[in-house]
Amino acid sequence: MPNFEISTASADDITMLGDWAHEEGWNPGLTDGQAFFTADPCGFLVGRLDGEPVTSVSVVRYGDSFGFLGFYLTRPSLRGRGYGLRTWHAGTARLAGRTVGLDGVPAQQDNYRRSGFRTAWGNARYEGVAPAGIAPPAGVTLTDARTLPFVRLAAYDRRFFPEARDSFLAPWITAPGRTALAALRDGELAGFAVLRACREASRIGPLHADSPEVAAALVSALAAGAPDVPVAIDVPDVNPSAVRLAEQLGLTPSFDTARMYTGPVPEFDRAGVFGITSLELG
Protein backbone atom coordinates (compact mmCIF):
# COMPACT_ATOMS: atom_id res chain seq x y z
CA MET A 1 0.00 0.00 0.00
CA PRO A 2 2.65 2.55 -1.00
CA ASN A 3 0.19 5.40 -1.48
CA PHE A 4 -1.78 4.87 1.74
CA GLU A 5 -0.99 7.14 4.69
CA ILE A 6 -2.64 7.61 8.09
CA SER A 7 -2.56 10.99 9.81
CA THR A 8 -4.31 13.01 12.49
CA ALA A 9 -7.59 14.44 11.26
CA SER A 10 -8.15 18.15 10.73
CA ALA A 11 -11.18 20.08 11.96
CA ASP A 12 -12.60 19.91 8.42
CA ASP A 13 -12.08 16.13 8.45
CA ILE A 14 -14.32 15.87 11.51
CA THR A 15 -17.16 17.41 9.51
CA MET A 16 -16.51 14.89 6.75
CA LEU A 17 -16.66 12.02 9.24
CA GLY A 18 -20.08 13.23 10.30
CA ASP A 19 -21.20 12.91 6.69
CA TRP A 20 -19.76 9.39 6.51
CA ALA A 21 -21.57 8.44 9.73
CA HIS A 22 -24.82 9.76 8.29
CA GLU A 23 -24.36 7.57 5.22
CA GLU A 24 -24.04 4.58 7.56
CA GLY A 25 -27.40 5.43 9.13
CA TRP A 26 -25.98 6.56 12.46
CA ASN A 27 -27.72 9.98 12.36
CA PRO A 28 -25.06 12.08 14.13
CA GLY A 29 -25.86 15.54 15.45
CA LEU A 30 -25.45 18.42 13.04
CA THR A 31 -22.96 20.18 15.33
CA ASP A 32 -21.38 17.19 17.07
CA GLY A 33 -18.02 17.86 15.44
CA GLN A 34 -17.33 20.91 17.61
CA ALA A 35 -17.50 18.86 20.81
CA PHE A 36 -15.82 15.81 19.29
CA PHE A 37 -12.78 17.77 18.11
CA THR A 38 -12.44 19.67 21.38
CA ALA A 39 -12.56 16.48 23.45
CA ASP A 40 -9.25 15.26 22.02
CA PRO A 41 -7.95 17.10 18.91
CA CYS A 42 -5.40 14.34 18.22
CA GLY A 43 -7.89 11.54 18.80
CA PHE A 44 -9.15 11.23 15.22
CA LEU A 45 -7.23 9.49 12.47
CA VAL A 46 -7.88 9.49 8.73
CA GLY A 47 -6.32 7.17 6.17
CA ARG A 48 -5.71 8.63 2.73
CA LEU A 49 -5.17 6.73 -0.50
CA ASP A 50 -3.36 8.87 -3.05
CA GLY A 51 -4.35 11.84 -0.90
CA GLU A 52 -8.06 10.96 -0.86
CA PRO A 53 -9.60 10.21 2.57
CA VAL A 54 -10.88 6.61 2.62
CA THR A 55 -10.73 5.37 6.25
CA SER A 56 -11.19 6.74 9.74
CA VAL A 57 -11.17 5.87 13.42
CA SER A 58 -11.59 7.97 16.57
CA VAL A 59 -9.54 6.99 19.62
CA VAL A 60 -10.33 9.63 22.20
CA ARG A 61 -8.50 9.63 25.51
CA TYR A 62 -10.29 10.39 28.77
CA GLY A 63 -8.19 10.93 31.89
CA ASP A 64 -5.28 8.57 32.48
CA SER A 65 -6.93 5.19 32.11
CA PHE A 66 -9.88 5.22 29.69
CA GLY A 67 -10.40 5.64 25.97
CA PHE A 68 -13.30 5.34 23.57
CA LEU A 69 -13.13 4.12 19.99
CA GLY A 70 -15.58 5.16 17.27
CA PHE A 71 -15.90 6.30 13.68
CA TYR A 72 -14.27 3.07 12.47
CA LEU A 73 -15.15 3.43 8.80
CA THR A 74 -13.85 2.53 5.37
CA ARG A 75 -15.42 3.88 2.21
CA PRO A 76 -17.69 1.15 0.82
CA SER A 77 -15.85 0.68 -2.50
CA LEU A 78 -12.55 -0.02 -0.70
CA ARG A 79 -13.64 -2.44 2.02
CA GLY A 80 -11.89 -5.75 2.31
CA ARG A 81 -8.51 -4.47 1.10
CA GLY A 82 -6.79 -3.97 4.44
CA TYR A 83 -6.96 -0.18 4.59
CA GLY A 84 -9.41 -0.20 7.47
CA LEU A 85 -7.39 -2.75 9.44
CA ARG A 86 -4.23 -0.66 9.15
CA THR A 87 -6.17 2.35 10.41
CA TRP A 88 -7.57 0.25 13.27
CA HIS A 89 -4.09 -0.80 14.38
CA ALA A 90 -2.82 2.79 14.23
CA GLY A 91 -5.75 3.92 16.35
CA THR A 92 -5.65 1.20 18.99
CA ALA A 93 -1.92 1.78 19.45
CA ARG A 94 -2.81 5.28 20.67
CA LEU A 95 -4.94 3.75 23.45
CA ALA A 96 -2.44 1.10 24.56
CA GLY A 97 -2.55 0.45 28.29
CA ARG A 98 -6.05 1.86 28.75
CA THR A 99 -9.45 0.28 29.16
CA VAL A 100 -11.16 0.98 25.84
CA GLY A 101 -14.89 1.13 25.13
CA LEU A 102 -16.86 1.18 21.91
CA ASP A 103 -20.43 0.78 20.67
CA GLY A 104 -20.28 -1.85 17.97
CA VAL A 105 -22.82 -2.43 15.21
CA PRO A 106 -23.81 -6.10 14.79
CA ALA A 107 -21.80 -6.58 11.59
CA GLN A 108 -18.53 -5.67 13.34
CA GLN A 109 -18.94 -7.29 16.74
CA ASP A 110 -17.13 -10.53 15.86
CA ASN A 111 -14.20 -8.50 14.54
CA TYR A 112 -14.07 -6.52 17.77
CA ARG A 113 -14.07 -9.73 19.81
CA ARG A 114 -11.06 -10.94 17.87
CA SER A 115 -9.33 -7.72 18.96
CA GLY A 116 -10.01 -8.42 22.63
CA PHE A 117 -13.30 -6.59 23.16
CA ARG A 118 -16.04 -8.24 25.22
CA THR A 119 -19.73 -7.32 25.31
CA ALA A 120 -20.88 -5.61 28.51
CA TRP A 121 -24.47 -4.80 27.49
CA GLY A 122 -26.65 -3.89 24.52
CA ASN A 123 -27.94 -0.51 23.42
CA ALA A 124 -31.13 -0.04 21.45
CA ARG A 125 -32.03 3.21 19.74
CA TYR A 126 -35.64 4.05 20.57
CA GLU A 127 -37.36 6.56 18.30
CA GLY A 128 -40.69 8.30 18.04
CA VAL A 129 -42.64 11.40 19.00
CA ALA A 130 -42.33 11.74 22.77
CA PRO A 131 -45.41 12.82 24.73
CA ALA A 132 -45.52 16.40 25.91
CA GLY A 133 -46.77 17.65 29.25
CA ILE A 134 -45.13 15.13 31.60
CA ALA A 135 -44.58 17.07 34.80
CA PRO A 136 -41.53 16.46 36.97
CA PRO A 137 -42.03 14.76 40.34
CA ALA A 138 -43.01 16.85 43.33
CA GLY A 139 -40.13 18.98 44.51
CA VAL A 140 -38.24 18.76 41.18
CA THR A 141 -37.85 21.70 38.81
CA LEU A 142 -36.30 21.84 35.35
CA THR A 143 -33.89 24.57 34.31
CA ASP A 144 -31.51 25.43 31.51
CA ALA A 145 -28.36 23.46 32.36
CA ARG A 146 -26.18 26.23 30.94
CA THR A 147 -27.25 28.56 33.77
CA LEU A 148 -25.67 26.31 36.39
CA PRO A 149 -22.04 26.57 37.50
CA PHE A 150 -20.25 24.22 35.13
CA VAL A 151 -18.34 22.54 37.96
CA ARG A 152 -21.63 21.24 39.39
CA LEU A 153 -22.80 19.90 36.05
CA ALA A 154 -19.45 18.22 35.39
CA ALA A 155 -19.46 16.61 38.83
CA TYR A 156 -22.93 15.18 38.24
CA ASP A 157 -21.96 13.87 34.80
CA ARG A 158 -18.90 12.19 36.32
CA ARG A 159 -21.21 9.80 38.22
CA PHE A 160 -22.19 8.23 34.91
CA PHE A 161 -18.90 8.08 33.00
CA PRO A 162 -15.59 6.31 33.75
CA GLU A 163 -13.50 9.52 33.71
CA ALA A 164 -14.03 13.27 33.85
CA ARG A 165 -14.82 14.69 30.40
CA ASP A 166 -15.07 18.41 30.99
CA SER A 167 -13.46 19.43 27.68
CA PHE A 168 -16.10 17.41 25.85
CA LEU A 169 -19.08 18.33 28.01
CA ALA A 170 -18.67 22.11 27.80
CA PRO A 171 -19.05 22.35 23.99
CA TRP A 172 -21.60 19.51 24.04
CA ILE A 173 -24.10 21.68 25.93
CA THR A 174 -23.29 24.97 24.17
CA ALA A 175 -22.96 24.05 20.49
CA PRO A 176 -25.65 25.45 18.17
CA GLY A 177 -28.84 23.52 17.62
CA ARG A 178 -29.14 21.91 21.04
CA THR A 179 -30.97 22.30 24.33
CA ALA A 180 -29.57 21.23 27.71
CA LEU A 181 -31.83 20.78 30.73
CA ALA A 182 -31.06 20.02 34.36
CA ALA A 183 -33.46 18.72 37.00
CA LEU A 184 -33.06 20.16 40.49
CA ARG A 185 -34.37 18.82 43.78
CA ASP A 186 -33.72 20.99 46.84
CA GLY A 187 -31.04 22.76 44.86
CA GLU A 188 -29.19 19.53 44.02
CA LEU A 189 -28.94 17.97 40.58
CA ALA A 190 -31.32 15.07 40.04
CA GLY A 191 -31.08 14.80 36.25
CA PHE A 192 -29.40 16.12 33.14
CA ALA A 193 -30.19 15.75 29.45
CA VAL A 194 -29.21 17.26 26.11
CA LEU A 195 -31.19 17.30 22.86
CA ARG A 196 -29.37 17.98 19.59
CA ALA A 197 -30.65 18.54 16.09
CA CYS A 198 -29.82 15.83 13.53
CA ARG A 199 -30.63 15.18 9.90
CA GLU A 200 -33.40 12.83 10.98
CA ALA A 201 -34.77 12.29 14.50
CA SER A 202 -33.34 14.67 17.09
CA ARG A 203 -31.09 12.79 19.50
CA ILE A 204 -31.29 12.96 23.29
CA GLY A 205 -28.06 12.12 25.07
CA PRO A 206 -26.91 12.04 27.68
CA LEU A 207 -30.08 11.28 29.59
CA HIS A 208 -29.08 10.92 33.22
CA ALA A 209 -31.58 10.91 36.05
CA ASP A 210 -32.06 9.77 39.61
CA SER A 211 -35.40 8.14 38.74
CA PRO A 212 -37.51 7.18 35.71
CA GLU A 213 -39.96 9.95 36.61
CA VAL A 214 -37.25 12.60 36.37
CA ALA A 215 -36.00 11.11 33.10
CA ALA A 216 -39.53 11.15 31.66
CA ALA A 217 -39.99 14.82 32.56
CA LEU A 218 -36.68 15.71 30.92
CA VAL A 219 -37.56 13.89 27.69
CA SER A 220 -41.01 15.46 27.60
CA ALA A 221 -39.68 18.98 28.17
CA LEU A 222 -36.98 18.59 25.52
CA ALA A 223 -39.44 17.21 22.99
CA ALA A 224 -41.87 20.06 23.66
CA GLY A 225 -39.39 22.46 22.08
CA ALA A 226 -40.00 20.80 18.71
CA PRO A 227 -43.50 19.30 18.82
CA ASP A 228 -44.26 16.47 16.38
CA VAL A 229 -40.54 16.03 15.62
CA PRO A 230 -39.34 12.51 16.47
CA VAL A 231 -36.60 12.00 19.02
CA ALA A 232 -34.11 9.16 19.38
CA ILE A 233 -32.51 7.84 22.56
CA ASP A 234 -29.79 5.16 22.71
CA VAL A 235 -31.02 3.13 25.66
CA PRO A 236 -28.72 0.70 27.55
CA ASP A 237 -30.37 -2.57 28.48
CA VAL A 238 -28.12 -2.77 31.55
CA ASN A 239 -30.68 -0.36 33.05
CA PRO A 240 -34.06 -2.15 32.79
CA SER A 241 -35.84 0.98 34.06
CA ALA A 242 -34.53 2.87 31.02
CA VAL A 243 -35.92 0.26 28.64
CA ARG A 244 -39.31 0.31 30.36
CA LEU A 245 -39.39 4.10 30.24
CA ALA A 246 -38.66 4.21 26.51
CA GLU A 247 -41.50 1.79 25.89
CA GLN A 248 -43.86 3.71 28.18
CA LEU A 249 -43.07 6.89 26.23
CA GLY A 250 -44.25 5.14 23.05
CA LEU A 251 -40.82 4.97 21.45
CA THR A 252 -39.87 1.96 19.33
CA PRO A 253 -36.46 0.29 18.79
CA SER A 254 -34.82 0.91 15.41
CA PHE A 255 -31.06 0.35 15.72
CA ASP A 256 -28.87 -1.91 17.88
CA THR A 257 -25.29 -1.74 19.11
CA ALA A 258 -23.29 -3.53 21.78
CA ARG A 259 -21.22 -1.70 24.38
CA MET A 260 -17.92 -3.53 24.42
CA TYR A 261 -14.73 -3.08 26.44
CA THR A 262 -11.19 -4.32 26.62
CA GLY A 263 -10.09 -4.96 30.17
CA PRO A 264 -12.36 -4.59 33.19
CA VAL A 265 -15.79 -3.06 32.67
CA PRO A 266 -15.69 0.44 34.23
CA GLU A 267 -17.75 1.15 37.29
CA PHE A 268 -20.26 4.02 37.24
CA ASP A 269 -23.88 4.68 38.17
CA ARG A 270 -25.55 2.55 35.49
CA ALA A 271 -28.97 2.81 37.15
CA GLY A 272 -28.94 6.52 36.37
CA VAL A 273 -28.09 6.19 32.67
CA PHE A 274 -31.35 6.33 30.71
CA GLY A 275 -29.64 7.26 27.45
CA ILE A 276 -25.96 7.20 26.45
CA THR A 277 -24.37 10.39 25.18
CA SER A 278 -23.17 9.27 21.75
CA LEU A 279 -22.18 6.13 19.87
CA GLU A 280 -19.00 7.82 18.68
CA LEU A 281 -17.41 9.11 21.92
CA GLY A 282 -19.29 7.26 24.62
The identity of residue 40, as a single letter, is: D
CATH assignment of 4-118?
A: 3.40.630.30
Q: What does the pLDDT read at residue 134?
A: 97
Q: Is the pLDDT of residue 127 over 60?
A: yes
What's the pLDDT tens digit per position in 249-282?
A: 999 999 999 999 999 999 999 999 999 999 999 8
The identity of residue 264, as a single letter, is: P
Evaluate whether 25 touches 106 at the Cβ level (below 8 Å).
Answer: no
Extents of the domains making up the chain: 4-118, 125-275
Q: Where are the beta strands (DSSP E) in 134-251?
A: 140-144, 178-185, 188-196, 202-209, 231-236
CA dist 55 and 79 (Å) reads 9
Selected from 1.10.10.10, 1.20.1260.10, 3.40.50.410, 3.40.630.90, the CATH number assigned to the domain covering 125-275 reads 3.40.630.90
One fold for 4-118 and 125-275: yes
Output the pTM of the full model: 0.94
Q: What is the mean pLDDT of residues 212-223?
A: 97
Quick one: which of 18, 22, 72, 11 has its CA closest to 47?
72
* pLDDT band (50, 70, 90) for residue 226: confident
CA dist 1 and 240 (Å) reads 47
Give the alpha-carbon dihedral of 251, 254, 255, 259, to 10 degrees.
Answer: 30
What's the pLDDT tens digit per position in 45-83?
A: 999 999 999 999 999 999 999 999 999 999 999 999 999
Q: How far is CA 215 from the centre of its chain?
A: 17
